[in-house]
Amino acid sequence: AVSQLYRAGTSVGANVREAQYAESKKDFIHKLKIAEKELGEFFFWFGLIKSDQSEAEDEATKSMIETAGQVRRLLIAIIVKAKQNINNPTK
């Protein structure tokens, strides 16, 4: 599970980087959607690992979850705005 968590977490950054070099606006959105899905997978694996541990959350864990949540909200906002720009290119 730890290797899956690592893979999903690093994939988020890789897909955001790929989006920076997208070939089109649709490709940009597609890559960011993949990053968002990988972040969802990160939360899944993190939850599995956490459920195996009986220790209370420490500050580093809380900070990591909060940061991942902020990244997810940011990705969603960028995706929504990019879709709006495609649908209304004059604005």
Q: What is the CATH number of the domain that holds 30?
A: 1.20.1440.60
Structure tokens at 18: 């790929």
Query: What are the tens digits of pLDDT across the range 42-90?
Result: 999 888 887 766 555 678 788 888 999 999 999 999 999 999 999 887 7
Q: How big is the chain by its Cα radius of gyration, in Å?
A: 15
- Segments forming the whole domain that contains residue 15: 2-87
Which pLDDT value is given to residue 91? 58
Residue with tokens 């580093």: 60
Chain centre distance of CA 53: 24
Cβ proximity of 36 and 19 under 8 Å: no
Which pLDDT value is given to residue 75? 97
Domains of the chain: total:
1
Residue with tokens 């599995």: 48
Q: Which residue has the higher pLDDT, 48 or 15?
A: 15
DSSP letter for each residue of 64-88: HHHHHHHHHHHHHHHHHHHHHHHH-
Q: Collapsing DSSP states into helix, strand and coil, what is residue 90?
A: coil
Which pLDDT value is given to residue 58? 74
pLDDT of 19 over the 70 cut: yes
Q: What is the pTM of this model?
A: 0.84
